[in-house]
């Protein structure tokens, strides 16, 4: 479960900006929050969802891209064949161009709080730190600082034998996390490292480049299991799309020299048909003939199901850029409410231009975030709860009246 995520010097973000999933006391709408599943520690409730609004090019997507950058760094292996680490500093101020990007993420895994802090340039890991909070008490697991000769480390005494730690250090190149290498090269995974790595690796599901590719992946997944196809059709019907059945099949494998030609023409792709049923009959449509809204819902369904299989002590986080793309506002509202009512607690973070969701009956003030750029071009991220206001006010009306800023200047 995500507690909060702070970003510094990444793309349009200059000074430290923090997205918090901690619920503010005394704000109503209990369905939008849940108790933090911590063992032996009292902690504020956490939010089930957060939405980010803001003008075009104000930095909404960059907040989500920071999650992706962190995840890609965690997955990075030695001798990665790429152009460097996936970071980009704030470019408008030359004093910041050569500074590292910084990520600081707090989360819960298996009943305990973790904090992972990372400073990274395009060429190397500059700083790496893992902290745990058993029973609420802060404990340093390890810390790594870059130096010209050899990286400097601090370790928790009980982490591992000195010879093992030294071996992990030697196996960790400058552009790879110590955390990643320690887990990859440990015969018996040390829980505190494995738990942290697993959360950073597996608990974030990001859809940042539109739902179309995700929809295609969903259709491909239906080939192996027809039961999910029935579940997907039922989901679409619940969204008022009259799909009775979904059929996906993979063409026969092409052998020999024609295989590459077949792939080039797309002849080896899964073919999906949707059977629509109305009161006058049935009609079959190819996936490509469906509306963009239907395709987006198909794309959303797979991560929606994925997040439902979380360990109750380890809720997953679904991160979606422009969730409302090609979807009616009532459908987006329904998706948020379904998320609240899901049997498995999880978290949803998304960007949107659909201000009809700014309804205090749906979203609390501390769930609505706004981005805007200052005159220097730097993104500022604020919650509506940071502004003066009262419970139950017309948030959408006040937003368009400029009470919260974050509007295009036209």
CATH at 43: 3.40.50
Whether residue 150 sits in one domain with residue 7: yes
In DSSP terms, 26 is beta-bridged to none
Whether residue 332 sits in one domain with residue 236: no
What is the chain's alpha carbon radius of gyration, rounded to the nearest angstrom? 23
Whether residue 318 sits in one domain with residue 299: no
Among 282, 308, 334, residue at a domain's last position: 308
Query: Domain range for residue 262?
Result: 211-308
In the block, residue with structure tokens 């992946």: 217
Does the predicted TM-score (pTM) go above 0.75?
yes
Whether residue 27 sits in one domain with residue 85: yes
Whether residue 220 sits in one domain with residue 197: no
Cα–Cα distances (Å) from 148 to 98, 145, 174, 323, in that order, read 16, 10, 11, 45
119-133 burial by CB neighbour count: b if 16+ within 10 A, else e?
bbbeebbbebbbbbb
Q: What is the DSSP string of 160-216?
A: S-HHHHHHHHHH--TTS-HHHHHHHT-SS--HHHHHHHHHHHHSEEEE-S-HHHHHH
Among 247, 275, 308, residue at a domain's last position: 308
Whether residue 5 sits in one domain with residue 70: yes
Token pair, residue 337, equals 């409410």
Whether residue 105 sits in one domain with residue 46: yes
Whether residue 215 sits in one domain with residue 198: no
C-beta of residue 355 within 8 angstroms of C-beta of residue 399? yes
* Rounded Cα distance, 212 and 325, in Å: 11
Whether residue 325 sits in one domain with residue 299: no
The pLDDT score that the predictor gives to residue 257 is 45
In DSSP terms, 184 is beta-bridged to none
Count the domains in the chain: 2
Whether residue 145 sits in one domain with residue 45: yes
* Rounded Cα distance, 18 and 320, in Å: 18
Whether residue 295 sits in one domain with residue 333: no
Whether residue 225 sits in one domain with residue 194: no
322-333 burial by CB neighbour count: b if 16+ within 10 A, else e?
bbbbbbeeebbb
Among 308, 340, 372, residue at a domain's last position: 308
- The pLDDT tens digits along the chain (410 residues) read 999 999 999 999 999 999 999 999 888 889 999 999 999 999 999 999 999 999 999 999 999 999 999 999 999 988 777 778 999 999 999 999 999 999 999 999 999 999 999 999 999 999 999 999 999 999 999 999 999 888 999 998 788 888 888 999 999 999 999 999 999 988 776 899 999 999 999 999 999 987 888 888 888 888 866 668 898 999 999 999 999 999 988 776 544 444 443 343 343 578 999 999 999 999 999 999 999 999 999 998 888 776 665 455 456 899 999 999 889 999 999 999 999 998 888 999 999 999 999 999 999 999 999 999 999 999 999 999 999 888 888 999 999 999 999 999 88
Residue 324 φ then ψ, to 5°: -85, 5
Sheet holding 368-373, edge to edge: 204-207, 317-320, 347-351, 49-53, 368-373, 379-383
DSSP state of 314: B
């Amino acid at each position: 479960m995500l507690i909060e995520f702070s970003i510094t010097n990444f793309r349009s973000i200059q000074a430290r900006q923090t997205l918090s999933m901690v619920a503010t006391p005394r704000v109503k709408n209990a369905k939008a929050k849940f108790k933090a599943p911590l063992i032996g520690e009292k902690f504020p409730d956490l939010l089930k969802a957060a939405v980010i609004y803001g003008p075009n090019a104000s930095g909404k997507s960059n907040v989500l891209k920071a999650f992706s950058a962190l995840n890609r760094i965690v997955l990075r292996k030695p001798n990665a064949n790429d152009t460097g680490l996936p970071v980009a500093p704030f470019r408008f101020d030359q004093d910041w161009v050569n500074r590292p990007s910084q990520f600081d993420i707090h989360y819960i895994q298996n009943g305990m709080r973790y904090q992972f802090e990372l400073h990274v340039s395009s060429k190397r890991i500059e700083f790496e730190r893992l902290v745990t909070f058993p029973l609420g008490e802060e404990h340093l697991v390890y810390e790594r600082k870059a130096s010209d000769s050899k990286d400097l480390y601090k370790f928790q005494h009980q982490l591992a034998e000195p010879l093992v730690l030294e071996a992990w250090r030697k196996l960790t190149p400058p552009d790879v996390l110590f955390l990643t290498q320690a887990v990859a090269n440990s015969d018996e995974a040390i829980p505190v490292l494995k738990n942290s790595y697993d959360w950073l690796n597996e608990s974030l599901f990001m859809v940042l480049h539109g739902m179309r590719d995700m929809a295609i992946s969903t259709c491909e997944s239906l080939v192996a299991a027809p039961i999910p196809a029935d579940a997907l059709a039922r989901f679409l019907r619940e969204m008022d799309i009259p799909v009775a059945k979904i059929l996906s099949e993979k063409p026969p494998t092409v052998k020999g020299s024609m295989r590459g030609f077949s792939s080039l023409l797309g002849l080896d792709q899964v073919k999906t048909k949707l059977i629509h049923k109305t009161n006058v009959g049935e009609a079959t449509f190819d996936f490509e003939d469906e509306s963009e809204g239907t395709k987006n819902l198909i794309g959303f369904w797979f991560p929606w199901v994925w997040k439902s299989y979380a360990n109750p002590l380890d809720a997953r986080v679904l991160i979606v850029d422009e969730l409302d793309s090609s979807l009616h506002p009532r459908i987006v509202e329904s998706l948020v409410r379904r998320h609240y009512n899901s049997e498995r607690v999880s978290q949803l973070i998304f960007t949107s231009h659909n201000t009809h969701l700014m309804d205090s009956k749906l979203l609390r003030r501390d769930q609505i975030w706004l981005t805007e750029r200052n005159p220097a071009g730097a993104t500022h991220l604020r919650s509506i709860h940071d502004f003066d206001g009262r419970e139950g006010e017309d948030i959408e009306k006040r937003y368009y009246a400029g009470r919260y800023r974050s509007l295009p200047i036209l």
